[in-house]
Amino acid sequence: MSLAHLFLKQFAAYQSNNHFENHQAMQGQTGFWSEKKIELRPGITLFIKLVDFREDHGESFRLYSNMASFWACFSGTERATIRGLKDDVLLSAGLCGTFVGRKGFKGHWEIPAKHPFHVVSIHMDPVTLNQVVRNEHDSLPEPYMNLVQGRDSGCFSHSMPMTPMIRVAAEQILNCSFEAGNRRLYFEGKALEIIACIMENFSTPSGPKPFFNTSDIERIHYARELLTRDFLNPPGLMDLARSVGMHHSKLNQGFKLLFGNTVFGHLTEMRLEEAKHYLESGDMNCAEAALSVGYSSLSHFAKAFNRQYGSNPSSYIKRISAPVRIRRFPMQGNCLKS
């Protein structure tokens, strides 16, 4: 099933009657387009967009109002060329970022064919954003705040690898099961969390995190794919870095930013997840599960398992295999009386 069909199925399962949500979708000869628009409060709007074109597609656009946006991209690529910006604004898989532009700016965006583009974005009126970050002005870049506060008429763009925290918050937006008023409150909380995480990237005293361009992001994801293919007999860090054409130190930094762990740490997580699956299915005991994922020492396996899941393997098996006990309460004689 294609990503587009999964997206339609997901939103078909939730038929919104809320006045603040609007979902539009279209499928035809040119491909598939879907956009969900959620008005969080005056000045803040959440968008969930998925497009999958059969041919390269592009359109010109113009900003009809001042706008600040924050975004997290799950798949595909959208490249926007904006007059006044030296570099293109690139929304690409594994990246997130922010853009501020003033009314009247023109540009052109392009999305390549047969690469589903899936993004979560938050659009804010700069006045509203200025109120949200009113106590953080000194820690944000001066060009950024000049635009937000209307002292400049240019544009500002900043992108970075999507951190695990941002990915989790964006995925929670996609999978929200809340209803009515609580649903909007939940969306707003997650949207503000994404904004805070993106701003933290260029407001920390230590400065911006190591830079990774689109090619770097693709190489890091490919390195992860190589590990996943054969995590029982994985290449060493140097060989893996050579395979994807990247310095081993930068590859480790990239893994830490994108997946929350080093290459070796991520490999350990995959092995332990596989062992946990064997234990849960009952196909193997602790020793067999340890050996199957590459641990020759049962004690080393138990320590690693405990670090990741907060329980040693034996205790974990007992907990998941324990029968569920239902406590019965005596029924009062008058409980059914009207």
Report strand pairing: 57-62 vs 106-111: antiparallel
321 near 285, Cβ under 8 Å? Answer: no
Domain range summary for the chain, segments of one domain joined by +: 3-201, 214-321
Tens of pLDDT, residue by residue over 280-322, are 888 888 899 999 888 888 998 999 998 888 888 888 888 777 6
Integer Cα distance of 167 and 120 in angstroms: 10
Question: Which is higher by pLDDT, 9 or 285?
Answer: 285
**pLDDT given at position 325:** 52
Q: Sign of the CA dihedral 226, 215, 110, 154?
A: positive
The angle at the Cα of 29, spanning 25 to 33, to the nearest 5 degrees, equals 25
Question: Which is higher by pLDDT, 128 or 140?
Answer: 128
Instruction: Give me the percent of the chain exceeding a pLDDT of 70.
Output: 83
Q: Please, how many CA atoms are within 13 Å of residue 33, restricted to the half-sphere of its CB?
A: 11
CATH class of 3-201: mainly beta
Superfamily of domain 214-321: Homeodomain-like (1.10.10.60)
Integer Cα distance of 234 and 136 in angstroms: 45
Tens of pLDDT, residue by residue over 249-264, are 889 888 887 777 889 9
Which residue is listed with tokens 């946006």? 69
**pLDDT given at position 7:** 43
**Chain CA centroid to CA 336, Å:** 50
When the pLDDT of each residue in the chain is averaged and rounded to a whole number, the result is: 80
Confidence of residue 337 (pLDDT cuts 50, 70, 90): very low
**pLDDT given at position 5:** 46
Q: pTM of the full predicted structure?
A: 0.61
> Both ends of the chain: CA-CA distance in Å?
53
Q: Sign of the CA dihedral 37, 40, 45, 50?
A: negative
Tens of pLDDT, residue by residue over 62-101, are 888 888 899 999 888 888 888 777 777 888 888 898 888 8
**pLDDT given at position 6:** 43
Integer Cα distance of 72 and 217 in angstroms: 14
Tens of pLDDT, residue by residue over 11-21, are 443 444 467 88
CA-closest candidate to residue 256, choices 223, 300, 302: 223
As a residue count, the chain comes to 338
